[in-house]
């Protein structure tokens, strides 16, 4: 049982809803509506869903037309009991919300992979978790794997964090022949767009078999281990010349919406 004080302390961060999504990754509701105009149901996954406010709001809005899934690192980050409490306090899922009406939850470190089959989801989004992901480029590849052929992912991901010292402002650092390749520039090579949102930027992408196929992980740095007031995991990569040559010899599959 999560202590009430802890629940309240984390609510602002872990309780972000659909209105917050509109600021961080654009129109999730529009994306769902567009797909529901073409099919009976959509499958949606939120990475780092926290207390599940956005998923609960989507469940209230769409009912069974949206098959909703959320993933957290640990149960204390947001489990079924916490989501049910959140739903009751916010008046979501009707007058008497039931655990059977909740989104489906999974737990684990996304850096180790996603526990879903290939080609599962129409839409994958995340609004707060990118900061804390290890193996960030591998996470993007995993999201691409679980997207359907026409699926879209929208991941809140600022390229630079000006509040940190210069050495640690980039959470994704990519080097090619001793030269820094800005993350946005690298992403665009592979049909992934770093797109402006009202509050920061986000990654928008579909499937791309070439993304991160040409990089080698070099280091990961947990910034909180350097300074308790910092947070996030910095991932450093280098581009392997031979892998890059093979990767760029085949065309990437780009998202027509980017």
| pLDDT, tens digit, 9 for 90 and up, residues 80-129 | 999 999 999 999 998 888 888 999 999 999 999 999 999 999 999 999 89
Q: What is the pLDDT of residue 54?
A: 95
Distances from the Cα of 178 to the Cαs of 43, 70, 168, 188, 248, in angstroms?
42, 39, 18, 20, 20
**Do residues 70 and 49 lie in contact, with contact meaning Cβ atoms separated by under 8 Å?**
yes
DSSP strand pairing (172-176 vs 179-181) = antiparallel
Low-confidence ranges of the chain (pLDDT < 50): 254-256, 258
Burial class from Cβ neighbours inside 10 Å (0-12, 13-18, 19+) for residue 95 reads: exposed
- Tell me which architecture the domain covering 4-160+180-209 has in CATH: 3-Layer(aba) Sandwich (3.40)
- The ranges assigned to domains in the chain are 4-160+180-209
**What global pTM score does this model have?**
0.90
Tokens of 120: 């599962």
Residues 6+ apart with CB under 8 A from 226: 168
Q: How many CB atoms within 10 Å of residue 195?
A: 17
C-alpha 43/C-alpha 129 separation (Å) is: 20
């Amino acid at each position: 049982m999560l202590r009430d004080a802890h629940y309240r302390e984390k609510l602002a961060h872990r309780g972000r809803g659909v209105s917050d999504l509109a600021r961080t990754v654009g129109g999730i509701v529009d994306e769902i509506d567009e797909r529901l105009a073409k099919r009976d149901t959509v499958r949606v996954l939120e990475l780092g869903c926290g207390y599940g406010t956005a998923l609960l709001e989507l469940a209230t809005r769409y009912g069974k037309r949206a098959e909703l899934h959320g993933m957290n690192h640990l149960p204390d980050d947001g489990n079924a009991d916490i989501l049910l409490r959140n739903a009751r306090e916010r008046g979501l899922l009707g007058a008497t919300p039931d655990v059977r009406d909740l989104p489906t939850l999974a737990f684990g470190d996304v850096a180790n992979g996603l526990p879903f089959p290939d080609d599962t989801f129409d839409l994958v989004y995340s609004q707060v978790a990118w900061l804390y992901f290890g193996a960030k480029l591998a996470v993007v590849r995993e999201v691409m794997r679980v997207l359907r052929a026409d699926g879209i992912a929208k991941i809140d991901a600022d390229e630079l964090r000006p509040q940190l010292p210069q050495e640690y402002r980039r959470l994704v650092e990519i080097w090619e022949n001793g030269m820094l390749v800005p993350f946005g520039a690298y992403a665009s090579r592979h049909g992934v767009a770093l797109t402006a949102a009202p509050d920061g930027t986000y990654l928008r992408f579909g499937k791309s078999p070439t993304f991160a196929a040409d990089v080698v992980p070099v280091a990961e740095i947990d910034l909180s281990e350097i300074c308790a007031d910092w947070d996030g995991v910095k991932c450093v990569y280098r581009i392997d010349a031979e892998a890059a040559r093979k990767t760029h010899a085949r065309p990437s599959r780009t998202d027509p919406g980017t």
